[in-house]
Structure 1
């Protein structure tokens, strides 16, 4: 049996009633569903059909009348006599004339323009100075037992008859409990344009401690007034934004009373349906102040998402304020499997590899439901948010709340199935794998494999370059299972060609919790590439294969003592403050001349600070440290290095300033653009080993095919190794990736256009003896095309070098590269 792997969350409400009426509303003539038709009962209750025309209504007594109405259709009335399923057909009224239709469209346009013009006065974050409230959220993965046949079948496999009781077992399980339940109680606060959630309590079935990544996932937008509305970490154009007024069609359907105020039902649908990701739904707009009183957002496709926002009208403030949020995820119609939230939730395709439609199994009826109730509201009170630099903060005792806490804050019915789900911890065997996957994913994304209390570093296992030849090693760092407040790290390596050992030893201790401050010391005896630009703050991402070092032949040997402090004490920053003492020996023909002395070896003592600033990102603080939960651009990195004269035998006096800005934009249609600007400025007496080489990645060989290597991420693919050096430089990288195009079943390449350029200058070139090089004062330019992920992550790319530094032979300006994109599904 295969479950779609729902890696967390899902919430449902069971309502007991005498009469449960379900059905669908359609056009009498065309038999097409009528989305969002209104169903009103004689008792005064009202419900709305969904986007497919389906509805559900629960009555406590027989004889209750229901009136179904829809704009430009004749209403129909019937009496509830029993539980059942009804198909309701409405007759359309005479079609509107062109003049009437035009007037209707103008009326809709004028009404929505008024809604857009009133956004600031109706948005609680704009209209109110402060507010705070508590929220109770329950997420459930479950299924309706009544929808599952649960029979025992016989199947023929390898000429043998076997019993298949999968559906029977699934129905038996789901009748007693859910697949997964999680609860969360939070305090939400808004003040000085800052909005923060503090998680006070959380529990997940089957887990002693909650999974922090799950808490940080944004299932749906908090506000319906932002330009982008988010559903399951996918952003859509908001219908009541400036762009939304152009991208959506609107239709005024009906009027309905909410909180004793008249509202207009507005149906919206995306005109473009870009990549089949268009959003449609229903807005309940207050006729008096044009505020959103209720919103239903719907996306249909491989999965069906329905988000509902309900508001309460506050008389004193004259504003509609959030009351409940709800999100339901069910499987849609799809041919291929799809992973969302990084593969945490997975829906399987309805068709197997032979292209035949498979029969539904019991787990296909599973769904995710999340509902949040807001209470204990306080408006326009004196409020100061503590540590407002983080969007979500998780209390240290979040998993230690007792029964009294949950009884007090639980705002939804806690059924017997809910209790059984928490009681039977082994009920979700497939979910246990997700916990292991998350733990493993946290490590592997940075190149580690956890084994007990030690994380082995994959970087050290094996590598190759032209100086060391094959390099083998072993190393890593202790993890939180060893200690949350102390770490040991190290490695040992050996090069077969240079026949030298290399090693590193280090240790650090946590000295600040909220700021995640660590202080450490280390010693390293190893080799490094000359002229490479390294920001100390950069985190290593996992690379199964790094192409550039293979062709490197110029290194320097260093023996370095390092003491450092790593901290996040500044809002939305990470920083490393270092003091280094190194003995340097160039491993190539090079001598540095400072005007008086010649140096083949030298000593450097430097102090440096490296800062990464992500001003627009959102962070979550957990008991284990900070997590960037919403990565937004641009991002900025700054590094300053200064030598310390007359300190620990330092030979040179110099400084270096390095800066980088990154910007990425994801488009709704699957395309992506990226811009990188990086610059460096070195002043004083700086040896060539510590200047800039602009990341070349091309071999100096005559034949084009002999120069084929694997493309790097941000390297110059047509620039030859050691061709250019600079003491000051600036470079720009532009990339635009188009959405993947399916050519065949498993061949879906993505086209990426690339353009790179750099300028540089060399001060005091007479200081550097022994290595021939050029400068890029007039600029260096290359452009290319990448056709990535043609098959199993592999692709092909071609680049062309042009401009002032173009080479004389045409073929020498061309670089053909292999590309590789590793998709870990994390």
Structure 2
């Protein structure tokens, strides 16, 4: 349930402690000094943020604190009981510190070059062949009640200037009352990390989530920050940024040597870094503490500041035996930022009202402004150069079956400190609220609806089957569904029935499945179908089911074939990083248009095909998670590859023709930090032997054969040729290529924020044995087909507009015939 994370969008961080002071450090010109070092009288350390601000918390009374900054005179401030905010000005020194100058150039650059050069020696995942450790993590969404006014506001309104009505706003009061007793959300987990053969695997031994009997696996898989500080791309809140110690980092970042600091008994350089670009999402800024002896990272603070202020802190322990800094603690914080900007988040764009930079347009702070997310992890039980093999190393995360059933003794053993009263109340209160408001049930309902199902007791009704339209059937009205876990976890029944108002025919399907192996989601299925299908369409058996509220392309299709099919298949994820379907089928085919297939001088108006098919999708770069309910893809990475082989079986169950079909698809997608995205699709197919036109390729046309441009206006498809007419081209072999580049959304008005997408598509193909196909007139793609266009999507309420132009060897004589105008509809659920 990634949408839960929307709760983290409305907050400012104020940490609660027994003694706390706040302040800001400036130079003599009142310019803030970022990442100045603050040391208290009881030896607590802190640093100022990018605006020079700081907060120091302590369990004991703070008598004084000292501020140091390279190139400035150190200053000590005495703390007064009556003063909580301190504005400190530092005077610049007239001479530089000789002890931190390592060359004639910018000393920070010289240090960073050595850090980059020694990365493989200092990176535990490069230097060590094997290691393992355990981690305790606690994540909370909460607020400091002392920061919330908690006032009950009232305002007067009048009707006809006579009757006075008092409006009461008690939301802040109620929020403060709740947050004083409990956190808004809380979860804990204990994991074992194992590294070997250049792969890192997390096994979750225990997990506990307030309000849920079973954990929400989407939250567990949510990647808040990179595990390794040396990754070429550093990740914060599922967004990847160029790492300040990547091989080409010097061209992306500016660096400044701030100070020399002792970290756990070893001298380190304190280096501030900031991305050179000024764009809002250009990159990170923060501080690196670099060991002066081996140039390893001894501590790191990574930060993004915008609408959200997001920071990740990495702490390390120096291991003398291995001569390496090994990670011991990490923390992740999200607090509310200041800017009025939009956030690219969870696959969509969220409008967010920040505090704003204009001091004359300040808005009243609400309770949500004081909410924050904090995640802290502590590593322990660390072993180096281990010999135990890693089970299922292709998995990124594995959750043990009993992880959510651990007794309280388990948590007492692994918690760094006992839960305070507020945390204990959080579990009790959120659990009771969850039961009372049936939160888990509602979450399950939401998951099903997003995938196109409506649960009705032991059956999930298929929303895709209710109503649709095409030019052959007219309105297709139906009802379908599949049994769910309330019926059985190991056996399922599915089916549908549909009626076409135009063709007057009833279609139906009935199928069943048996679960053979839970961990690999292996099912043995059988089905019987009597239905119609678009001719020459390419269907990959492993493609994920996509639910659309409205699927526009089939509206324009009029050429179908009737089929009656018996199928048996094995569906499995047993091969690492794949999903596969192996199928045997016997299908009776009857074209519902003017067509005869000429085979050895015999004309067939209908025929039987007995086939064996293997379909597999391979995602070698994606991360996969094993849960008690099965295996799933937690992070979709590219490229990914789909292969499908279909072979007819001669002399088996009255099979009429001998042929083979090979289909493939390759997808690649690259997202940029500025909100832009480029995607590539390469798809092709090759049919060998005697194949009727019903099972060849039409390369996805989506244009009506009408006289004027306006008569041809219809809805755009996803990966279809918008200027190619239906049934204009057929091929026995083809290759299709598409490139799309989407720009960040353009703000025209407050509610009009379209996204501009540039599209180019091209295809080549040929037809072997054209004399076999009697009836339809068509062309081939041996000279290629080309079109390009512009889409302006999400102009209003998901609706957009696109224009496409056809060019090249298959361009038509009349200019306007090469133009297609299409309506688009995009609803982004962030999936």
- TM-score category of the 2 structures, normalised to the smaller one: over 0.9
Cα drift, residue 804 of structure 1: 1.2
How do residues 747-762 of structure 1 correspond to structure 2 at under 5 angstroms? 747-762=752-767
Match of 2:48 in 1: 49
Q: Which of 497, 503, 513 is the aligned partner of 1:498? A: 503
Q: How large is the Cα RMSD of the aligned pairs?
A: 2.7
Match of 1:195 in 2: 200
Gaps (5+ residues) in structure 2?
A: 159-163
Q: Could you tell me how far apart the structure 2 residues matched to 1:8 and 1:170 are? A: 16
Question: Does structure 1 residue 719 correspond to structure 2 residue 721?
Answer: no
Q: Which has the larger displacement, 125-134 or 418-427?
A: 418-427
Q: Could you tell me how far apart the structure 2 residues matched to 1:151 and 1:70 are? A: 41
In 2 relative to 1, CA 662–817 (structure 1 residues): closer, same or farther, beyond 3 Å?
same
For the Cα contact (< 8 Å) 1:12–1:140, is it kept in 2? no
For the Cα contact (< 8 Å) 2:310–2:334, is it kept in 1? yes
SS state of the match for residue 442, structure 1?
A: helix
In 2 relative to 1, CA 446–572 (structure 1 residues): closer, same or farther, beyond 3 Å?
same
Q: Could you tell me how far apart the structure 2 residues matched to 1:813 and 1:339 are? A: 36
Question: Does structure 1 residue 411 correspond to structure 2 residue 416?
Answer: yes
For the Cα contact (< 8 Å) 2:13–2:335, is it kept in 1? no
Q: Could you tell me how far apart the structure 1 residues matched to 2:575 and 2:374 are? A: 38
For the Cα contact (< 8 Å) 1:9–1:182, is it kept in 2? no
Alignment deviations for residues 143-186 of structure 1 (CA, whole Å, 9 cap, x no partner)? 11111121222233564113332222221221121111110111
Gaps (5+ residues) in structure 1?
A: none
SS state of the match for residue 813, structure 2?
A: coil
For the Cα contact (< 8 Å) 1:185–1:199, is it kept in 2? yes
Q: Could you tell me how far apart the structure 2 residues matched to 1:192 and 1:655 are? A: 39
Cα drift, residue 362 of structure 1: 1.9
Match of 1:35 in 2: 34
In 2 relative to 1, CA 565–346 (structure 1 residues): closer, same or farther, beyond 3 Å?
farther
SS state of the match for residue 280, structure 2?
A: helix
Cα drift, residue 112 of structure 1: 0.8
Cα drift, residue 783 of structure 1: 1.1
For the Cα contact (< 8 Å) 1:6–1:345, is it kept in 2? no
Q: Which has the larger displacement, 369-378 or 338-347?
A: 338-347
How do residues 638-649 of structure 1 correspond to structure 2 at under 5 angstroms? 638-649=643-654
Q: Could you tell me how far apart the structure 2 residues matched to 1:322 and 1:454 are? A: 48
For the Cα contact (< 8 Å) 2:12–2:371, is it kept in 1? no
Q: Could you tell me how far apart the structure 2 residues matched to 1:395 and 1:736 are? A: 41
Match of 1:6 in 2: 7
In 2 relative to 1, CA 535–819 (structure 1 residues): closer, same or farther, beyond 3 Å?
same
SS state of the match for residue 425, structure 1?
A: helix
SS state of the match for residue 549, structure 2?
A: coil
For the Cα contact (< 8 Å) 2:316–2:326, is it kept in 1? yes
Question: Does structure 1 residue 251 correspond to structure 2 residue 256?
Answer: yes
How do residues 36-435 of structure 1 correspond to structure 2 at under 5 angstroms? 36-58=35-57, 64-80=63-79, 82=81, 84-94=84-94, 106-157=106-157, 159-335=164-340, 338=343, 340-341=345-346, 358-425=363-430
Q: Which has the larger displacement, 530-539 or 163-172?
A: 163-172
Cα drift, residue 486 of structure 1: 1.9
Cα drift, residue 278 of structure 1: 3.2
In 2 relative to 1, CA 13–485 (structure 1 residues): closer, same or farther, beyond 3 Å?
farther
For the Cα contact (< 8 Å) 2:343–2:349, is it kept in 1? no
Q: Which has the larger displacement, 161-170 or 806-815?
A: 161-170
TM-score, normalising length: structure 1 = 0.94
Alignment deviations for residues 508-557 of structure 1 (CA, whole Å, 9 cap, x no partner)? 11101221101111111100000001101111212222222111111100
Match of 2:20 in 1: 20
Match of 1:735 in 2: 740
Q: Could you tell me how far apart the structure 2 residues matched to 1:482 and 1:630 are? A: 31
For the Cα contact (< 8 Å) 1:697–1:719, is it kept in 2? yes
Q: Could you tell me how far apart the structure 1 residues matched to 2:5 and 2:125 are? A: 38
Q: Could you tell me how far apart the structure 1 residues matched to 2:264 and 2:396 are? A: 32
SS state of the match for residue 424, structure 1?
A: helix
Q: Could you tell me how far apart the structure 2 residues matched to 1:345 and 1:821 are? A: 15
For the Cα contact (< 8 Å) 2:136–2:190, is it kept in 1? yes
Q: Could you tell me how far apart the structure 2 residues matched to 1:216 and 1:566 are? A: 24
SS state of the match for residue 575, structure 2?
A: coil
SS state of the match for residue 519, structure 1?
A: strand
Cα drift, residue 43 of structure 1: 4.8
Q: Could you tell me how far apart the structure 1 residues matched to 2:699 and 2:595 are? A: 19
Match of 2:161 in 1: none
Match of 1:685 in 2: 690
Alignment deviations for residues 121-153 of structure 1 (CA, whole Å, 9 cap, x no partner)? 111110101011111000011111111121222
For the Cα contact (< 8 Å) 1:509–1:518, is it kept in 2? yes
Alignment deviations for residues 554-603 of structure 1 (CA, whole Å, 9 cap, x no partner)? 11000111111100011100000111111111101111111132211111
Q: Could you tell me how far apart the structure 1 residues matched to 2:767 and 2:825 are? A: 35
Cα drift, residue 281 of structure 1: 0.5
Q: Could you tell me how far apart the structure 2 residues matched to 1:261 and 1:784 are? A: 60
In 2 relative to 1, CA 342–663 (structure 1 residues): closer, same or farther, beyond 3 Å?
closer
For the Cα contact (< 8 Å) 2:11–2:370, is it kept in 1? no
Alignment deviations for residues 379-435 of structure 1 (CA, whole Å, 9 cap, x no partner)? 101021101111001111111000110000112441100000011136767997975
For the Cα contact (< 8 Å) 2:766–2:782, is it kept in 1? yes
Q: Which of 653, 659, 665 is the aligned partner of 1:654? A: 659
Q: Could you tell me how far apart the structure 1 residues matched to 2:656 and 2:13 are? A: 70
Cα drift, residue 283 of structure 1: 0.5
In 2 relative to 1, CA 63–701 (structure 1 residues): closer, same or farther, beyond 3 Å?
closer
TM-score, normalising length: structure 2 = 0.94
Alignment deviations for residues 256-297 of structure 1 (CA, whole Å, 9 cap, x no partner)? 111211000000111103334532100001111111110011
Q: Could you tell me how far apart the structure 2 residues matched to 1:87 and 1:333 are? A: 21
For the Cα contact (< 8 Å) 2:471–2:555, is it kept in 1? yes
Q: Could you tell me how far apart the structure 2 residues matched to 1:499 and 1:439 are? A: 37
For the Cα contact (< 8 Å) 1:277–1:299, is it kept in 2? no
Q: Which has the larger displacement, 482-491 or 125-134?
A: 482-491
For the Cα contact (< 8 Å) 2:793–2:824, is it kept in 1? yes
In 2 relative to 1, CA 194–794 (structure 1 residues): closer, same or farther, beyond 3 Å?
same
Q: Could you tell me how far apart the structure 2 residues matched to 1:285 and 1:824 are? A: 42
Number of aligned residue pairs: 817
In 2 relative to 1, CA 40–359 (structure 1 residues): closer, same or farther, beyond 3 Å?
closer
Q: Could you tell me how far apart the structure 2 residues matched to 1:61 and 1:705 are? A: 76
Q: Could you tell me how far apart the structure 2 residues matched to 1:248 and 1:362 are? A: 37
Q: Could you tell me how far apart the structure 1 residues matched to 2:746 and 2:133 are? A: 46
For the Cα contact (< 8 Å) 2:757–2:792, is it kept in 1? yes
Cα drift, residue 470 of structure 1: 1.1
In 2 relative to 1, CA 165–61 (structure 1 residues): closer, same or farther, beyond 3 Å?
closer
How do residues 400-479 of structure 1 correspond to structure 2 at under 5 angstroms? 400-425=405-430, 438-479=443-484
Alignment deviations for residues 183-235 of structure 1 (CA, whole Å, 9 cap, x no partner)? 01111110111110011111111111110110000011111111111111111
Question: Does structure 1 residue 527 correspond to structure 2 residue 532?
Answer: yes
Match of 1:572 in 2: 577
SS state of the match for residue 6, structure 1?
A: helix
Q: Could you tell me how far apart the structure 1 residues matched to 2:377 and 2:236 are? A: 15
Q: Could you tell me how far apart the structure 2 residues matched to 1:447 and 1:396 are? A: 28
Q: Which has the larger displacement, 604-613 or 783-792?
A: 783-792
Q: Could you tell me how far apart the structure 2 residues matched to 1:294 and 1:212 are? A: 30
Cα drift, residue 237 of structure 1: 1.1
SS state of the match for residue 404, structure 2?
A: coil
For the Cα contact (< 8 Å) 1:708–1:815, is it kept in 2? yes
Q: Which of 783, 788, 811 is the aligned partner of 1:806? A: 811
